[in-house]
Structures are given as structure tokens and as C-alpha cells.
């Protein structure tokens, strides 16, 4: 948690006697915030470093859903018996809905895919690696000569 880390760094640097200005530069926190963090530390001790529970609706996406998402992305659609070789967000969402019973917005799924460290892009179909590269380069040179009228 970045917030917890910033609080801990602030307290550690304060204990070392580092100035407020340098701590604020290092953590990106305002000096008023540094004062508040130190005051809470004096009042609550170690409990002041942890995040307080945040209000709001609990997330629909559970850790089990994220595990299934990672697994589907690693395995690919062929493993699950689909006829296509790459996931689209819509297909991945339909698959996860079938497996987990939860359908989410495509934009949110894109963010989850990115958060899990996967890159989503449309596949670029090329023949690179499947063609005879030397013959391909010769043909490219010949084509350039023909275009120039040589």
C-alpha cells in the first residue's frame, strides 16, 4: 500500500532527524500532513500507520475472480475449447461470466487486465518468421528498383 509506505518513510526519516522540507520532497506529502502523521504516531503508535477502513460498496471482483482472470490470460482460449486463438475483452468477459457468474464493464475488465500485468492489444497478423527472409529482402529490393524505373 503506497499510503502506508509513505507514512512509514515519514516516521523513519523523522526519527533520523531529517527536516520537514526534505521529507516532504521525498514523499510528496505536505508539511501539514507530516505533522498529522507524527501526532497520530504519538497517540496511537503502530496502529496509526495502517489504513483505516474505507466506506463504500465492497468490490464485486473477488480475489477468486482475479485468479481466474490470470489463469485465463495465461492459458489462452484454445485451452478452454474455443475456436479463436486470442482473447478479446468481450470474449474474455463472456468466458469469465460463464465461469464465475459475474459480468463487468469492458472498460473495468481492461483495467483489471492491465493491473494484472498483461498487455491487451489487437493481434497484428504478419508472415514474419514464416517466410524465407532472404528471398523476401531480395524481392523488396527488386520492387524498389522497379518503382524507380531502373
- Could you write out the DSSP letters of every residue in 67-95? HHHHHHHHH-GGGGT-S-SS--HHHHHHH
Let me know if residue 9 belongs to a domain: yes
Q: How many domains does the chain have?
A: 2
- Per-residue pLDDT for 55 more than 70? yes
Q: Which of 118, 140, 120 is nearest to 128 (CA)?
A: 140
* Residue 7, C-beta contacts closer than 8 angstroms, at least 6 positions apart: 37, 48, 49
pLDDT value at position 73? 93
What's the predicted TM-score (pTM) here? 0.50
Residue at 102 is within a domain: yes
What domain range includes position 79?
63-115
The answer to whether residue 127 sits within a structural domain is no
Rounded Cα gap, residues 89 and 68, in angstroms: 14
Average pLDDT over residues 100-125: 86
d(C-alpha 31, C-alpha 39), whole Å = 12
Amino acid at each position: 500500500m503506497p499510503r502506508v509506505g509513505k507514512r512509514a518513510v515519514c516516521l523513519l526519516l523523522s526519527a533520523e532527524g531529517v527536516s520537514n522540507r526534505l521529507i516532504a520532497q521525498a514523499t510528496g506529502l505536505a508539511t501539514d500532513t507530516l505533522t498529522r502523521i507524527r501526532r497520530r504516531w504519538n497517540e496511537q503508535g503502530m496502529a496509526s500507520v495502517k489504513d483505516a477502513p474505507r466506506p463504500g460498496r465492497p468490490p464485486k471482483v473477488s480475489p477468486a475472480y482475479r485468479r481466474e482472470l490470470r489463469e485465463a490470460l495465461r492459458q489462452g482460449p484454445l485451452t478452454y475449447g474455443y475456436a479463436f486463438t486470442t482473447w478479446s475483452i468481450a470474449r474474455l468477459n463472456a468466458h469469465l461470466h460463464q465461469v464465475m457468474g459475474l459480468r463487468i464493464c469492458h472498460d473495468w475488465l481492461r483495467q483489471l487486465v492491465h493491473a494484472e500485468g498483461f498487455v491487451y492489444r489487437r493481434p497484428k497478423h504478419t508472415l514474419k518468421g514464416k517466410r524465407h527472409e532472404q528471398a523476401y529482402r531480395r524481392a523488396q529490393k527488386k520492387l524498389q528498383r522497379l518503382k524507380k524505373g531502373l
